Amino acid sequence: MRAVPEWAGATDNAPPPPRVKDRIRDRQGNKCALTGKPFAPGDKIDYDHITPLWLGGANRENNLQAVLHDAHKRKTQMEATVRAKVNRTRKKHRGIGKEPTMPGSRNSCFKKLITGEVVDRRTGEVIGGSRP
C-alpha cells in the first residue's frame, strides 16, 4: 500500500507537479528510462507516457517516465510513424478513402482521355468531349 496517493492529471495535458517528478526520478534511480544514462545537472528532462495517450494510456504517475529530451524526441517520432500507419489502416478498413484533389487524378471519379473525352470511372459512361 502506498503511503502517498498516486497522482492523476485532471486532463491529458496536465503536467505532473514537481513532487511527482521527484518521485518518478527516484523510482528510476535518477536515470533516463530509455537510455539508462544518469541525469546530470543541466540535462533537459522530459516526462513521457509509457503507454501513449492515443493508445489508451492514462495521464497518471505510474504511466510516466523521466527521459532525456533527445531520446524523447526520437521515441515520439517513432510513435508518430506508427500512429499514422494505424490511422491509414483504420480508414482503409472503414472504407474512408482520400478525397479527390483535382479532376483527372487517380482519386477522382472522372478520367479525361487523350481524345478529350471525360469518362465516369464508376459507370464507364462518356460524359463529354473536347470542343472543335
Q: Does domain 18-94 have CATH number 3.40.1800?
A: yes
Q: Which three cell numbers stand for residue 58?
A: 492514462
Please write the tens of the pLDDT for every residue from 81-129.
Answer: 999 999 999 998 998 876 655 655 677 788 888 888 888 888 989 887 6
Provide the residue ranges of all domains of the chain, joining segments of one domain with +: 18-94, 98-132
pTM comes to 0.69
DSSP 67-106: EEHHHHHHHHHHHHHHHHHHHHHHHHHHT--PPP-STTST
